[in-house]
Chain A
């Protein structure tokens, strides 16, 4: 991805240079003016394509740059330049499209992360307050601390309704308690299927350096039917003789691959299950192979959080794309998951592992909202 970015950036600079040169040579007359206006639109299209921020942000940036270009061109024309020359110069002053897109990303992304962290902190604090509220209100109503604890675990009362309405993701996530003293909390535990079991039980051999081919051959040596898709690895530039480090003797293949994922990102080897066969391939390939479309109805949940439903849905979406495998979302520049908002509903196309996390995040949010003392009906988190 980094290489593609750089290469695209280089191409952009060359294109700009030639546009500016063309402007100097033949930048007069109405035809040249149209040509330059087309150049401006194409240049803006390019910046928008290179930006990795959400669509709404990109639209605002484009509108502002268009406005800047229009004013700059007007001033230059009033100063005696032809419209063609003025447009070419104004575009040239905006600089390298790739660099500009990156600067916008850098300026916008940290704020988005900060915002998401604030939302997460508020939700966490809200959940804690709600849980403490339940203890008081429910004890008063039912007179049994045991019942209250049961409700909080999803064994009865409104929270059980929420649990039933959670997305039916195959091999769904389990929540594990990770509470400190007096602080209700839960922890996402990834669902374990045959692939995870295989990775957790196959050892990587002695400590030191091995090739990727040798490491993955250990999976093929198990009783399970395993297919390593070398064609897919080669298509993303990953070779069998890539050197992989096994940190300690007895480490599992799963732990080695987790470390490798930090270096290789979406090209790192991962294991998925296809018709009873465990397929080892680049993570990005498996993600595209296993796309599920799930619709999540967030209207109830958004209404519970107060304020405008649209803005709450937006906040929830930000929370989801920040917490659930952030690198895969198209909103964050990835290509493994896509999220489309429609009124109170969100259509998510993503692999099951991502859906499992999305469901957990929404489940945690809806649990707090639905069980709260003021919440009547359960918050709607419906799937499929």
Chain B
């Protein structure tokens, strides 16, 4: 739907924002993103996991493994490990900048298209 770069930039913002709230693992991030956006934001595994690697390499997030206990439900195996991610101090600063940039961008665009109504200009020219 979106060009790949735009999609990745949005995904970056979503992931960093979710991790700013609490540590999460990959699958939990996909579920949270879908739930909060009424299934509009889909962090597909092909997008998410390489992105997490990238963010980790940039020092924006850090990770640790957790042993998963058997829950007795299908697909759950004893000894499986989950990789948890958390936002680093650098990531927090980076996120703050990204949010600021995003808000500025939105204000600029809103000035042209109008905020909230979805139609035409914010300030209609009077005849």
Residues of A within 8 A of B (CB): 60-61, 63-74, 77-78, 83, 86, 93-96, 99-100, 103-104, 106-108, 110-111, 114
Q: Which residue of A has the minimal Cβ distance to B55?
A: A107
Q: How many A-B residue pairs have CB under 8 A?
A: 79
Q: How far is the CA of A83 from the CA of B76 in the complex (A)?
A: 12
- Asked whether A68 and B49 contact (CB < 8 A) given A73-B75, A74-B73, the answer is yes
Q: Which of A63, A67, A95, A96 has the most CB of B within 10 A?
A: A67
Q: How far is the CA of A83 from the CA of B26 in the complex (A)?
A: 21
B82 at the A interface (CB under 8 A): yes
* Minimal beta-carbon separation of B31 from chain A (angstroms): 8
Complex contact B27–A72 (CB within 8 A): yes
Residues of A within 8 A of B26 (CB): 64, 67-68
Complex contact A65–B45 (CB within 8 A): yes
Q: Considering only CB atoms and an 8 Å cut-off, how many residues of chain B contact the other chain?
A: 24
Q: Which residue of A has the minimal Cβ distance to B73?
A: A74
Complex contact A100–B81 (CB within 8 A): no
Q: How far is the CA of A69 from the CA of B30 in the complex (A)?
A: 12
Q: Which residue of A has the minimal Cβ distance to B57?
A: A111
Complex contact A68–B27 (CB within 8 A): yes
Complex contact A67–B45 (CB within 8 A): no
Q: Which residue of B has the minimal Cβ distance to A94?
A: B45
Residues of A within 8 A of B81 (CB): 63, 67
Residues of B within 8 A of A96 (CB): 46
B68 at the A interface (CB under 8 A): yes
Complex contact A100–B46 (CB within 8 A): yes
B50 at the A interface (CB under 8 A): yes
Residues of A within 8 A of B54 (CB): 107, 111
The prevalent SS among residues of A at the interface is: helix
Complex contact A67–B75 (CB within 8 A): no
Taking a contact as CB atoms closer than 8 A, the residue among B44, B49, B51, B77 that contacts A65 in the complex is: B49
Residues of A within 8 A of B82 (CB): 67
Q: How far is the CA of A339 from the CA of B75 in the complex (A)?
A: 37
Complex contact A67–B68 (CB within 8 A): yes
Q: How far is the CA of A83 from the CA of B80 in the complex (A)?
A: 18
Interface residues of B in 21-65 (CB under 8 A from A): 25-27, 44-47, 49-51, 53-54, 57-58
Complex contact A107–B53 (CB within 8 A): yes
Residues of B within 8 A of A (CB): 25-27, 44-47, 49-51, 53-54, 57-58, 68, 73-77, 80-83
* Minimal beta-carbon separation of A34 from chain B (angstroms): 13
Complex contact A77–B75 (CB within 8 A): yes
Q: How far is the CA of A84 from the CA of B83 in the complex (A)?
A: 25
Q: Which residue of B has the minimal Cβ distance to A61?
A: B49
Residues of B within 8 A of A69 (CB): 75
Q: How far is the CA of A99 from the CA of B45 in the complex (A)?
A: 12
The 10 closest A-B pairs by CB, nearest first: A111-B57, A74-B75, A95-B46, A103-B50, A107-B53, A73-B75, A107-B50, A107-B54, A71-B27, A77-B74
Complex contact A103–B46 (CB within 8 A): yes
Residues of B within 8 A of A73 (CB): 74-75
Q: How far is the CA of A96 from the CA of B47 in the complex (A)?
A: 11
Q: How far is the CA of A96 from the CA of B75 in the complex (A)?
A: 22
- Asked whether A104 and B53 contact (CB < 8 A) given A65-B45, A68-B27, the answer is yes
* Minimal beta-carbon separation of B7 from chain A (angstroms): 12
Q: How far is the CA of A103 from the CA of B11 in the complex (A)?
A: 15
Q: How far is the CA of A235 from the CA of B94 in the complex (A)?
A: 51
Taking a contact as CB atoms closer than 8 A, the residue among A71, A74, A77, A106 that contacts B50 in the complex is: A106
Complex contact B80–A70 (CB within 8 A): yes
Q: How far is the CA of A74 from the CA of B77 in the complex (A)?
A: 10
Complex contact A67–B80 (CB within 8 A): yes
Q: How far is the CA of A110 from the CA of B57 in the complex (A)?
A: 9
Q: How far is the CA of A74 from the CA of B53 in the complex (A)?
A: 25
- Asked whether A95 and B27 contact (CB < 8 A) given A70-B77, A110-B57, the answer is no
Q: Which residue of B has the minimal Cβ distance to A101?
A: B50
Give me 5 A-to-B residue pairs in the complex whose CB atoms sit less than 8 angstroms apart, sorted by A's number. A65-B49, A67-B68, A70-B80, A103-B50, A107-B53
Q: Which residue of B has the minimal Cβ distance to A102?
A: B50
Residues of A within 8 A of B58 (CB): 111
Q: How far is the CA of A64 from the CA of B82 in the complex (A)?
A: 7
Residues of A within 8 A of B25 (CB): 67
Residues of B within 8 A of A94 (CB): 45-46
Q: How far is the CA of A61 from the CA of B83 in the complex (A)?
A: 10
* Minimal beta-carbon separation of A30 from chain B (angstroms): 11
Residues of A within 8 A of B49 (CB): 61, 64-65, 68, 100, 104
Q: Which residue of A has the minimal Cβ distance to B66?
A: A67
